[in-house]
Amino acid sequence: MKTISIATALLFIGTASLANASELRYTPTNPAFGGFPTNGSYFLQNAQAQNQHKETTDRNSSSQNFAQTITSSLLNRIAFNIADQIYGENAQDSGRFVIDDTLLEFNRVNNQVVVNITNSTTGEKTTIELPVTNF
């Protein structure tokens, strides 16, 4: 019976495992990074299916943008004037404003200003209570 030394056995095992080993290679799947070119449509379809953003085809013209800007500016000025009547130097105890289909009423009650905003079309009403302060 032949005996094999431990060193010889380890040598055989080590060379056997080296014989089965191969070089590791990375192959990209995305064609943008050198992957297979026909994978492109697959990745594009997946990206489009996951895309939550929709393109808007209703782009405003410059005249529409200008009209919106003017409208916003005028509404800001009206809001400033209303706030001035509630909290300004010559603050009123109550007031009523109608702007398009919106009714705004305010009343000074004790140490608070109660503002009621009502949409006359839908009937929706919002009440805001603000403390009376000196700005």
Provide the pLDDT confidence category of residue 15 given band limits of 50, 70 and 90: low
Amino acid identity at 101: D
Total-model pTM: 0.49
* Triad 119, 108, 87: Cα angle to 5°: 85
Q: Are 86 and 113 in contact (CB under 8 A)?
A: yes
- Domain spans of the chain, in order of start: 63-131
Least confident of 43-52, 90-99, 109-118: 43-52
pLDDT digits (tens, 9 = 90+) for 97-132: 998 899 999 999 888 999 999 998 998 999 999 888
